[in-house]
Amino acid sequence: MKVSRHTTRKAAGLTQLAIGIASVALVLFIGSFTRVRADLTSEKRYTLTDATKNLVDSLKDVVFVKVYLSGNLPADLQQLSTGMKDLLDEMRVRNKDLLQYEFIDPSASQDENTRNKVYEALQKQGLQYTSIRLQGKGSQSELIVWPGAIITYRGKSLPVQLLKSQLRATDAETVNRSLNNLEYELASAIRQITSTHRPKVAFLEGQGELAKIAVQDLTDALGEQYDVSRVRINGQVDALSDKFDGAKYRVNKYDALIIAKPDSAFSEKDQFVIDQFVMNGGKVLWAVDAMDPHLDSLRTNQFSMATPLDLGIDQLLFAYGVRINKDLLLDKQCAPIQLYTRPYGDQPRLETLPFPFEPLVLAHGMHPIVNNIDAVHLKLASSMDTIGLDSAHSTILLTTSRYSRILRNPVRVSLAVVGMDLDLDRNNNPFRPVAVLTQGKFKSAFADRLAMPDSVLKAVGFRTWSPRTAQVFVSDGDAIANPVDLAKGTYYPLGYEKAARAKVFGNREFFVNAMNYLLDDKSLISIRARSIRLHQLDPMRIETDRTAIQAANVVLPILLGLLGGGAFHLLRKRRYARKG
């Protein structure tokens, strides 16, 4: 029996189809046992940092994440929700058994009373809502969303705010910052709720340092990871450390000490106690002034004469590799202040003008402490020099801009500087250090100064050399202070800008990063340092060309598919017509 050519072609086609189906099935079967992932984004958006991988791998029990960013969301918040889901999925690849999550829409109920009860419960758990005003065709509506999550672990719960907005408002830039911090916020929260040890950090008191409310924002931020308290030395050798019977050296009570804007001199005993705290491995974050600007005179007379501030710690800082100079800095790259200028009608006019005595300083290099943070706002800061030490090295963290100048002691500080031509383009001292990290082994500043018998020094537990440790120095005490409204008894976030009515500066991130680094939490700042760029659409064009864009997205793929299918059919028909 003769087999037709058509039957042969049909059998060959069916055979190829069967082989193709079998191949796909085999690939799917093998793929169910192996997982291959490739992150093709330039910023490695879908790749976890090593710190996060280690954190997820080390989980001892189930961590459950309830995310309340779900439902009918605007495009910006939908990107944040998608980013959170992608992050959780990447974490589950590492440990799917001990990391679980659920997305919940708190506004899903049609009953208003039920929704309000859910909202109230979320507020009690520590989450904050965001009110979004939606613009429709000829109407406006308000949408309440909860861009946050609740993490539970072994009976404990912890709220995490995903949208980093100080004004409970949202825009593309806010969402972009939130996406950048998403991995840090989630990893930090998981680490906090699963950690069994919390390092101890103390703010020093007794020399006119900043009041508790003036550092409350930083205290709250550090309190998420550390036990934060306040301590006063008062000449007591046991204030920062203890000497146990039989031990050769003292043991510190705290892991780190913060010295925030003292205004009076340290006694010799207090200096000794701080020095021995460092010698026993303690970390210190210094935010101190070298000049007294006499602000009362500046407020009343519009000018003042800044004079050196003697804190008695110059020898300490010199021994640790740093000198804060008795001068003040002017910088063309500066923050604005609001001043009443010439009368406008019957009333003075309030203007916002750049004030060169308040530099906005940027990162010097790519150190983890300063990488990917906003400009840090300083007020009446001094320049710094680093001192070469054989056993320790210094790293400059923050500097002024190219257009800065040093004013030597004494310095006339005048509000009139806002209207002056300072000629900073040519007459300048560029890139002056204002924040320095020193790390290594330090020699005691009292090593050659104590006239005491060896037996007494041994009894005290005096130590001449420290183990490897680190310190951060900032030549401005105001850098660490959050704005305070004394009349209302409240405070604003560290880095808050009064004119903008929002947090715009990176002061909080700088000091949190510095403390993370000092306490060897380099994993946290390695996560914070990563940057994800959000590619934004034009909102005006979306609104004006909405119909055309929707039609193009729906109709165009169908047309392309039909055209492609028609072209393939014609080519196939022509091919077999020639063969026939």
**pLDDT > 50? residue 166:** no
User: Tell me, what DSSP letter sits at residue 7?
Assistant: H
In the three-class reduction of DSSP (H, G, I as helix; E, B as strand; rest coil), residue 78 is classed as helix
Please, are residues 479 and 506 in contact by the beta-carbon 8 Å criterion?
A: no
Tell the residue number behind the tokens 């393939």, with chain if given: 568
Please, are residues 327 and 291 in contact by the beta-carbon 8 Å criterion?
A: yes
- Percent of the chain scoring above 90 in pLDDT: 51
CA distances (Å), origin 301, targets 11, 86, 298, 478, 499: 100, 58, 5, 22, 23
**pLDDT > 50? residue 188:** yes
Question: What's the CA gap between 380 and 327, in Å, rounded?
Answer: 9
User: pLDDT tens digits, residue range 7-41?
Assistant: 666 676 677 777 878 877 777 777 665 555 555 55
**Structure tokens that stand for 62 in this block:** 């189930």
Three-class SS of 215-283: HHHHHHHHHCCCEEEEEECCCCCCCCEECCCCCCCCEECCCEEEEECCCCCCCHHHHHHHHHHHHCCCE
Q: Which band of pLDDT confidence, cut at 50, 70 and 90, is reported for residue 164?
A: low
Question: What's the CA gap between 363 and 397, in Å, rounded?
Answer: 6
**pLDDT > 60? residue 97:** yes
Sign of CA dihedral 531, 189, 494, 503: positive
**Structure tokens that stand for 256 in this block:** 């780190």
Question: What's the CA gap between 16 and 33, in Å, rounded?
Answer: 26
In the three-class reduction of DSSP (H, G, I as helix; E, B as strand; rest coil), residue 84 is classed as helix
Tell me the β-bridge partners of 134. 141
Report the mean per-residue pLDDT for the chain: 85
Q: Which band of pLDDT confidence, cut at 50, 70 and 90, is reported for residue 140?
A: low
User: pLDDT tens digits, residue range 347-358?
Assistant: 677 788 899 999
Contact residues for 490 (Cβ-Cβ < 8 A; gap 6+)? 484
Amino acid at 336: P
Please, are residues 467 and 196 in contact by the beta-carbon 8 Å criterion?
A: no
Burial call 351-367: b when 16+ CB within 10 Å, e when fewer = eeeebbbbbbbbbbeeb
User: pLDDT tens digits, residue range 229-247?
Assistant: 999 999 999 999 999 988 9
CA-based nearest residue to 530, from 185, 219, 221, 217: 185
**Structure tokens that stand for 520 in this block:** 């060897």
Question: Which contacts qualify for 207-211: CB closer than 8 Å, 24 or more apart?
Answer: 207/262, 207/263, 207/264, 207/265, 207/266, 207/270, 207/311, 208/261, 208/262, 208/263, 208/264, 209/259, 209/260, 209/261, 209/262, 209/263, 210/260, 210/261, 210/477, 210/480, 210/481
In the three-class reduction of DSSP (H, G, I as helix; E, B as strand; rest coil), residue 480 is classed as helix
Compute the chain's Rg from CA coordinates: 31
Strands 433-440, 283-287: parallel, antiparallel or unpaired by DSSP?
unpaired
User: pLDDT tens digits, residue range 35-86?
Assistant: 555 555 555 566 788 888 988 999 999 999 999 998 888 888 888 899 999 9
Burial degree of 445 (CB within 10 A; 0-12, 13-18, 19+) = buried
**Structure tokens that stand for 458 in this block:** 């041994």
User: pLDDT tens digits, residue range 310-354?
Assistant: 999 999 999 999 999 999 999 999 999 888 766 555 567 778 889
**Structure tokens that stand for 467 in this block:** 């183990």
Q: Report the C-alpha dihedral over residues 451, 452, 458, 463, rounded to 10 degrees.
A: -20
Burial call 475-489: b when 16+ CB within 10 Å, e when fewer = bbbbbbbbebeeeee
From its phi and psi, is residue 308 left (phi > 0), alpha (psi between -120 and 50) or beta? Answer: beta
User: Tell me, what DSSP letter sits at residue 213?
Assistant: G
Please, are residues 510 and 373 in contact by the beta-carbon 8 Å criterion?
A: yes
| Total Cβ atoms within 10 A of residue 95 | 17
Phi, psi of 143 (to 5 degrees): -115, 130
Q: What is the pLDDT of residue 42?
A: 54
